[in-house]
Amino acid sequence: MEIKSSKTITVSEVKEILEKRKEDGELGYEQTQALEHAEKFYKDSKTVRQIIATLTKNEKINEEVAAKIVDVWPKDPATLKAILIKDKIELSEEEIDQIIKELS
């Protein structure tokens, strides 16, 4: 299989893509499982994209990390810090509180 392009997408966008594919025909096992997972964690994709745009205004957070944040939707600073530590992103307590406030 040849990869022609790559784009970061959120769980919400995955749900929308798989629902469209389901309308066009039957999904494979993996796609059905992915759709079930996406349905459990779905947030409105327009809202998700707006939050990603807000998060990426901080130069330390790229689109991929912002997508991880909205997919997990952390409710407390500790969970957000756990997401950020993997990518070695250090934010001030004020920045972390602002992100949590944005997700509330």
> Is residue 74 located within the same domain as residue 89?
yes
> Is residue 63 located within the same domain as residue 92?
yes
**Residue whose C-alpha is closest to residue 13's, from 41, 45, 55, 35:** 45
What digits encode the pLDDT tens for the residues 41-79?
888 888 899 999 999 999 999 999 999 999 999 999 999
Structure tokens at 32: 């059905």
Distance CA 52, CA 49 (A): 5
Number of domains in the chain: 2
Helices (H), 25-73: 29-40, 45-55, 63-72
Residue 82 maps to which CATH number?
1.10.150
The answer to whether residue 1 sits within a structural domain is: no
Distance CA 46, CA 65 (A): 18
**Res. 99: pLDDT tops 90:** yes
**Res. 1: pLDDT tops 80:** no
> Is residue 75 located within the same domain as residue 96?
yes
Could you tell me the residue range of the domain that residue 19 belongs to?
11-40
pTM: 0.80
> Is residue 26 located within the same domain as residue 58?
no
The answer to whether residue 4 sits within a structural domain is: no
